[in-house]
Amino acid sequence: MTKKIYTKEEWIKALAGLKSSYNIFVPVKEEGFHTFKALDEKKSPDFDFQNTRLSPKSLVYPQSERLFEYTLDENAPDANIIKESEKGYFPQAIVGIRPCDAHAFQIVKPNFDNPEYQDPWWIKRFESTTFVGLGCNDPSSTCFCTSVGGSPFSEKGLDALLYDLGDTFLVKALTDKGEKFLNQAQGGKEADETTLKAGEDLAASASDKIEHKISTDKLKDKVQTELFDAPFWDDVAFACINCGTCTYLCPTCWCFDIQDEVLEKQGDRIRNWDSCMFPLFTLHGSGHNPRAKKVQRVRQRFMHKLKYYVDKYNNGVQCSGCGRCVRNCPVNIDIREICELMNGFLHKNQ
Amino acid sequence: MLEYVEKIRETARKLFKDDKVDVFIGYKKGSVPMMNQPVLISNADQVDLLCWDSNCGLNLCNYLTKRKDRIGIVANGCNSRNIVTHITENQISRDQLYIVGIPCKGMIDQRAVQRAVKQKEILEIKEHGETFTVKGKDFEETFNKNDYLQRNCSVCTHRNPVISDEMVASPVEEQSGVDAYKDVKEIEEMDPKKKWEFFTQAIDKCIRCYACRNACPLCYCPTCFVDESKPQWVGKSNDSIDTMTFHILRAYHCAGRCTDCGACERVCPVGIPVRQFTKKLNKDAQELFSWEAGLTPDQRPLLDVFRPDDYNDFIR
């Protein structure tokens, strides 16, 4: 597999050269925080960041996506016939994605792509994406990837990985997709042994910088109903304002709602992100709401991530440890503390 | 303001001991710097959780809506005005409350501090009266608190509670000579096209998480208009017209009620200047009706009274 070294200027130039083969998305600094944007001459990428405010999940799974369309015009030959909307799946590359966010796509994959159900739009966009990661030299104090199956230089879910060596990037291909991407990238030179060693050292030292560890080892053995009835949920939920910040910033939250929107005779069937924090999320047509109370919704979020997912997929927890919800929850509800509560919970009979 | 902490704890402890409250609502220290968590305690053993510093920006009045028990609560100027609004709007009854009043010198704008340290990660913050120091891995900087106040706090003229059962300290001096509506005036002077651009750009990043709405103590409707489905008033996608409809309609629902507590702006995960939507209406309420929300429980809310002696002609 290709291993190359680029000066940072060369790398950005190489990315620009790839624009005819890929839609390239890079971290860009916007008014105080970073976000993934299409590579554009007007705004240069900024790889000097901890992580983007919003996760890159929208690049595979847009917040709003038209799935189908139809016309209500009775005179049209296809009146009232629903048709799949045309979508483009031109190859895209997310360059600079953090290993936790790439891992997150692997965590959500069993939901969108499993033997029973295949979500064609998620799968097509996922498959058309090349994930070029950027290892974390200086993880944030709210990061906990090493507790949930990742690490600052984890290769999980990545096609290539960048090592920031100061003035240069070492880039390694990890899969055929990554190899193809790097083979098309102009410039750079073959990485020598010293550079590779520098990359390895960097990765090893970064792992030690993750100070926060959480325990997830006992979650699997807990009884769902006992955890569900645990006495701590009221306290956990008190401060929650039931906004969607945690779920919308989360790279592993996948829930959606499907809505029909009609303007005059034109109808669109749209899939929008939804959030288990919202009362409407579970409101039945009958008017009954099985999760009418805040505490039920808060419990659902944590039970889903840290228990139901664990039991259903045998793939660890539904969390990649990116720490976005920890940093951005308006009322400081900290998943690390709640995971400890759940993992350490002992039923009164135990 | 740090010296208030002991007094708050002592007061809460006494309230439980004298059986004057069932629960006490305050803030506890957060798990990350510049972030405190609203907390509900239900006995005297928990009072040491209570804290107070310049990071208590979320409005606690949110947690009072329709409660049935006897509640002790800390309240600075804006929070106390929201409590008044809650009382006049029948969301809580005055005799359920024991209000521990806090003279406030403003909350720190965490984002401004983050910008000042060039987005490097802040691991610790220490306040010392008029200044505060933030520390990270390889930096330590001290700032004047007044230069880093939340924008609503920097123009606040009601720092002292308007209603309380007990004060933790003597009132602080109110700010005078502040131009509370400088930013609104700048927008008013724009032509319609520019205004449209301003607001369109402001909401461009909105992800419809509704943190602004949910952090707002005024937004207690059992079902918000954006959540209505029969009929559905607003689309749910991130279409800019739907998003704009949400922000503007929500602002109108806050007309004559908003105390400019700044919670909406503080909680927005993508940094939208949410207050710009409600502030114009605060200015109108003041200019047209000499009204500021939540100053006294003896007055009915601005928009639910008809006064035959109203000085505006159109209503007579």
Mean pLDDT (whole number) for A261-268: 94
Q: What is the mean pLDDT of residues A158-183?
A: 97
Shared domain for A201 and A225, answered yes or no, is: no
B35 neighbourhood in chain A, CB within 8 Å: 332
- A162 plus A286 within the same structural domain: no
Contacts 24+ apart (CB under 8 A), A33-42: A33/B119, A33/B270, A33/B271, A36/A94, A36/A96, A36/A97, A39/A15, A39/A95, A41/A16
From the CA of B173, how many Å to the nearest CA of chain A? 29
Hey, are the CB atoms on A33 and B214 less than 8 Å from each other?
Answer: no
Give residue B311's pLDDT.
Answer: 74
Read off the tokens for B11.
């007061």
Q: Average pLDDT in the A104-110 region?
A: 98
Asked if B63 lies within 8 A of A334 by C-beta distance, the reply is: no
SS3 labels along chain A: CCEEEEEHHHHHHHHHHCCCCCEEEEEEEECCEEEEEECECCECCCCCCCCCCCCHHHHCCCCEEEEEEEECCCCCCCECCCEECCCCCCCEEEEEECHHHHHHHHHHHHHHECCCCECHHHHHHHHCEEEEEECCCCCCCCCCHHHCCCCCCCCCCCCEEEEECCCEEEEEECCHHHHHHHHHCCCCEECCHHHHHHHHHHHHHHHHCCCCCCCCCCHHHCCHHHHHCCCCHHHHHHCCCCCCHHHHHCCCCCCEEEEEEEECCEEEEEEEECCCCCHHHHCCCCCCCCCCCHHHHHHHHHHHHHHHHHHHHCCCCCCCCCCHHHHHCCCCCCHHHHHHHHHCCCCCCC
Mean pLDDT across the stretch A211-220? 94
In a domain, residue A42? The reply is: yes
C-alpha–C-alpha distance, residues A55 and A230, integer Å: 31
pLDDT at A237 over 80: yes
Nearest chain A alpha carbon to B60: A239
Q: Do B207 and A244 touch (CB under 8 A)?
A: yes
Are residues A123 and A239 located together in one domain of the fold? no
Look at residue A115 and tell me whether its pLDDT is greater than 90. Answer: yes
In a domain, A179, yes or no: yes
Residue A348 lies in a domain: no
In a domain, A350, yes or no: no
Q: Answer yes or no: are the C-beta atoms of B242 and B149 closer than 8 Å.
A: no
Mean confidence (pLDDT) of chain A:
96
- Looking at the structure, tell me whether residues A140 and A121 fall in a common domain: yes
Q: d(Cα A56, Cα A105) in Å, to the nearest integer? A: 10
Q: Which of residues 254-283 of A touch B (CB under 8 A)?
A: 257, 259, 261, 270, 272, 275, 278-280, 283
CB B100 within 8 A of CB B74: yes
Q: What is the mean pLDDT of residues B7-16?
A: 98
User: Which amino acid appears at position A178 of this protein?
Assistant: G
What tens digit of pLDDT does each residue of B267-308 get? 999 999 999 999 999 999 999 888 999 999 999 999 888 878
Q: Residue range B220-228: average pLDDT?
A: 93
Torsion of CA A187, A190, A195, A197, to 10 degrees: 140
Least Cα separation, residue A115 to chain B (angstroms): 30
Cβ–Cβ < 8 Å for B259, B83:
no
CA–CA separation, A90 vs A21, rounded Å? 8
pLDDT in the model for residue A244: 97
**Cβ-nearest to B31 among A249, A259, A332:** A332
pLDDT over 70 (residue A319): yes
Judging by beta carbons within 10 Å of its beta carbon (0-12, 13-18, 19+), is residue A230 exposed, middle or buried?
middle
> Is the CB of A243 less than 8 angstroms away from the CB of B237?
no
Q: Which residue of B has its CA nearest to A262?
A: B235
Query: Which residues from B are below 8 Å from A278, CB to CB?
Result: 210, 227
Relative to beta strand B71-75, strand B124-128 is: unpaired
Average pLDDT over every residue of B175-183:
93
Domain count, chain A: 2
pLDDT at A348 over 90: no
The per-residue pLDDT for B154 is: 96
Closest-CA residue of chain A to B210: A243
Contact B146, B132 (CB under 8 A): no
Going by C-alpha positions, the residue among A110, A107, A103 that lies closest to residue A155 is: A103
The domain of A297 spans 219-343
- Cβ-defined contact of A259 to B236 (cutoff 8 Å): yes
A50:B121 CB<8 A = yes
Distance in Å, alpha carbon of B80 to nearest chain A alpha carbon: 19
The answer to whether A341 contacts chain B (CB < 8 Å) is: no
- Clarify whether residues A329 and A189 are in a common domain: no
Residue with tokens 């520019």: B194
Output the six-digit token pair for B151: 């924008």
- Please indicate, yes or no, whether residues A202 and A227 belong to a single structural domain of this protein: no
Question: Between B58, B227, B238, which is nearest A330 by CB?
Answer: B58
User: Is the pLDDT assigned to residue A42 strictly greater than 90?
Assistant: no
Residue A302, pLDDT above cutoff 80: yes
Tell me how far apart the terminal alpha carbons of chain A are, to the nearest angstrom.
52
pLDDT for B2 equals: 65
**CA separation for the pair A80, B245 (Å, rounded):** 29
Interface with chain B: mutation pick from A69, A235, A241, highest number of B CBs within 10 Å:
A241
* Distance from the B63 Cα atom to the nearest Cα atom in chain A, whole angstroms: 8
Q: Angle at Cα B150 formed by Cα B178 and Cα B52, nearest 5°?
A: 115
Residue with tokens 């000097």: A48
Residue among B39, B227, B238 minimizing CB distance to A63 = B238
Does residue A194 sit in the same domain as residue A226? no
Q: What is the pLDDT of residues B74-95, one digit of tens each?
A: 999 999 999 999 999 999 999 9
Chain B residues touching residue A336 (CB < 8 angstroms): 31
> pTM for this one?
0.95
Answer yes or no: is A261 within a domain. yes
Taking only the tens place, the pLDDT of each residue in A14-27 is 999 999 999 999 99
Residues in B touching A259 (Cβ below 8 Å):
235-237
pLDDT at A261: 93
Same-domain check for residues A223 and A194: no
Q: What is the 3-state secondary structure (H, E, C) of chain B?
A: CCCHHHHHHHHHHHHHHCCCCCEEEEEEECCCCCCEEEEEECCHHHHHHEECCCCCCCCHHHHCCCCCCCEEEEECHHHHHHHHHHHHCCCCCHHHEEEEECCCCCCECHHHHHHHCCCCCCCEEEEECCEEEEECCCCEEEEEHHHHECHHHHCCCCCCCCCCCEECCCCCCCCCCCCCCHHHHHHHCCCHHHHHHHHHHHHCCCCCCCHHHHHCCCCCCCCCHHHCCCCCCCCCCCCHHHHHHHHHHHHHHCCCCCCCCCHHHHHCCCCCCCHHHHHHHHHHHHHHHCCCCCCCCCCCCHHHCCCCCCCCHHHC
Q: A24 and A164: one domain?
A: yes
Q: Interface pTM (ipTM) of the complex?
A: 0.94
Lookup: tokens for B222: 């059992």
Do both A18 and A154 map to the same domain? yes
Neighbours of B66 (CB within 10 A): 10
Cα(A236)–Cα(B88) distance, rounded to whole angstroms? Answer: 30
- Determine the distance in angstroms separating the CA of A190 from the nearest CA of chain B, rounded to an integer: 33
Last residue of a domain, one of A189, A208, A227: A208
On the question of pLDDT at B315 being above 80, the answer is no
Instruction: Provide, as residue numbers in chain A, all residues whose Cβ is less than 8 Å from the Cβ of B229.
Output: 280, 283
Of B31, B38, B119, the CB nearest to A32: B119
Is there a contact between A244 and B123 if contact means CB atoms under 8 Å apart?
no
Q: Indicate yes or no: CB of A241 within 8 angstroms of CB of B32.
A: no
How close A54 comes to chain B (CA, Å)? 8
Contact (Cβ atoms closer than 8 angstroms) between residue B247 and residue B278:
no
Q: B236, B246, B294: which is closest to B268 by C-alpha?
A: B246
Name the residue facing B35 among A49, A241, A332 (closest C-beta): A332
- End-to-end, the C-alpha distance of chain B in Å comes to 48
Which among A208, A231, A258 is the end of a domain? A208
Does one domain contain both A168 and A281?
Answer: no
Chain A residue numbers with beta carbons less than 8 Å from the beta carbon of B238 are 63-64, 272
Q: Specify if A213 maps to a domain.
A: no
- What type of residue sits at position A31? E
Residue to test with chain B: of A210, A245, A341, most B Cβ within 10 A: A245
Are A142 and B32 an interchain contact pair (Cβ–Cβ within 8 Å)?
A: yes
Q: ω into residue B231 within 30 of 0, thus cis? A: yes
pLDDT reported for residue B33: 96
- Confirm or reject contact between A232 and chain B (CB < 8 A): no
pLDDT at A350 over 80: no
Which token pair is B279? 């502030």
Residue of chain B nearest A261, judged by CA positions: B235
Looking at the structure, do residues A198 and A112 belong to the same domain, yes or no? Answer: yes
B91-144 pLDDT, tens per residue?
A: 999 999 999 999 999 999 999 999 999 889 999 999 998 999 999 999 999 999
Average pLDDT over residues A329-348: 95
Taking CB atoms and an 8 Å cutoff, what residues of chain A touch B136?
A: none
